[in-house]
Amino acid sequence: MSFESDQRLQSEQQAQTCAFGNMRIRIPQSSMIDCIGYDDAAGTLSIWFCDTGRYLYYGVPAALFEAFCNAGSAGTFFNERIKDRFCYVRDPERRRFGPNV
């Protein structure tokens, strides 16, 4: 990869990462995941799934969030490295209009 290509890739990644309150947010290109965010102070990973909304994962190391941001497939990374490995809750602020699933 050339220096110019590397700089362009870094600029694109920075453009897709922003801060939201205390949380760093990243929007991956994924059919499964809309958005991921990380609260450094709390060590909490937030994942907004396309179909089911936001879930909070506790005790996630910052390095894992960084690896998630750089993964080739956000869905595969989630399934292999996060799912069933951390305590989680469905977004407590989410309004529910039907049965709790």
Q: What secondary structure does DSSP assign to 23-38, as a single string? A: EEEE----SSEEEEEE
Q: Domain of residue 83: give its range.
A: 9-90
Distance (Å, whole) CA 8 – CA 31: 24
Mean pLDDT across the stretch 79-92?
A: 94
pLDDT at residue 101 in the model: 52
Percent of the chain with pLDDT over 70: 72
Q: In 10 A of CB 39, how many CB atoms?
A: 18
Q: Establish if 48 belongs to a structural domain.
A: yes
Q: Establish if 2 belongs to a structural domain.
A: no
> Would you place residue 11 in the very low, low, confident or very high pLDDT band (cuts 50, 70, 90)?
very low
Contacts of 84 (CB under 8 A, 6+ apart): none
Q: What is the pLDDT of residues 45-55, one digit of tens each?
A: 999 999 899 99
Q: Establish if 1 belongs to a structural domain.
A: no
Please count the structural domains in the chain: 1
Q: Are 36 and 48 in contact (CB under 8 A)?
A: yes
Backbone dihedral region for residue 39 (phi beyond 0: left; psi -120 to 50: alpha; all else: beta) = beta
Q: Establish if 41 belongs to a structural domain.
A: yes
Q: Establish if 78 belongs to a structural domain.
A: yes
Q: Whole-prediction pTM value?
A: 0.73
pLDDT at residue 82 in the model: 97
Q: Is the pLDDT of residue 9 over 60?
A: no
pLDDT at residue 7 in the model: 44
Distance (Å, whole) CA 40 – CA 49: 21
Q: What is the pLDDT of residues 15-52, one digit of tens each?
A: 344 555 678 999 998 999 999 999 999 999 999 999 89
pLDDT at residue 93 in the model: 78
